[in-house]
Amino acid sequence: MTFITRHPFRTASVVLVVVLAGVGYWFWQGLHSSTPADANAAVAEFRESGAAEAATRPGVPAPGVYRFRQRGEERAGSGPLTISRSYPGEALYIVRPIAGGYHEDLRMSAEHVEEVRFRVDRAGSHALWRRTKITFAGMGTDDRDDVTPPSLDHPSDLSVGRAWDGRYQQGKMTVDYRARVTGREAVTVDGKRVPAFVIRMQSDFEGPTSGSRTDVFHWAPSLSLPVRWSIQQTTSGESEFEMDATLELESAVPQT
């Protein structure tokens, strides 16, 4: 008869290796994947905020949850430690009216969120506050800072060739921006051709994180919305990050 002797410590070691391997795989997958933003949660948040009952005004988009078709990717790190992941096929864009303007909440994924509070007046739309959240497997940044002085996102009287620029402080970063209306182009939304101005904005920032970002968006005055939007960004310093994304509005009728 053969006796089988069990080795509890060896068994425990094997179990630990398996568990660590599983955790490592989960962690690695988390680093290289993006989670789609939760549309149901976004709509529930919007309804709870009471924004659907707020009165709209010129220059402010209709409140609600919009959807953008999305493609592109983002990367963090450098060399062999670079982590890249593709964006989900859909991004959410939530608009809530606030006193004097509106709050923009762009959820490119659960891990990448960009928010801006705008003041809207006769001169145009001015960014007052910004939030940028970017995480990989739960680790990353979630910066929320005032924009001082408020920056001009776009003037109300757009025309081809119109240009503007400025400088502002956002937390520890200094941002220089310059923008120009490069043309006009209609974009199909809901089966209709919607006239839009093409605006190119270049932003260069210095501080703990330095780099540059280029936003090209087709701005539809009739909707007060970007109907097409591309973003390229490269940063270095405390965090090295790159992104390249293109978004197209699915419908001009938001979910409320």
Instruction: Indicate the pTM of the whole model.
Output: 0.85
Q: Is residue 156 part of a domain?
A: yes
Q: Is residue 225 part of a domain?
A: yes
Q: What is the pLDDT of residues 161-170, one digit of tens each?
A: 999 999 999 9
Q: What is the pLDDT of residues 208-245, one digit of tens each?
A: 889 999 999 999 999 999 999 999 999 987 668 999 99
Q: Decide: 118 and 155 in contact? Cβ < 8 Å.
A: no
Q: What is the pLDDT of residues 137-154, one digit of tens each?
A: 778 889 999 999 999 999
Q: Is residue 192 part of a domain?
A: yes
Q: Is residue 139 part of a domain?
A: yes
- Report the C-alpha gap between 61 and 66 in whole angstroms: 11
Q: Is residue 5 part of a domain?
A: no
Q: Is residue 11 part of a domain?
A: no
**Helices H, strands E: what count in the chain?**
2, 15
**pLDDT for residue 11 is more than 50:** no
State the total domains in the chain.
1
- Report the C-alpha gap between 69 and 247 in whole angstroms: 5
Q: Decide: 127 and 146 in contact? Cβ < 8 Å.
A: no
Strands 90-98 and 101-107: antiparallel
- Report the C-alpha gap between 198 and 130 in whole angstroms: 23
Residues whose CB is less than 8 angstroms from the CB of residue 71 and which lie 6 or more positions away in sequence, other chains included: 86, 87, 89, 245, 246
Read off φ and ψ for residue 116, nearest 5 degrees: -140, 140
Q: Is residue 181 part of a domain?
A: yes
Q: Is residue 175 part of a domain?
A: yes
Residue-number span of the structural domain to which 220 is assigned: 30-249
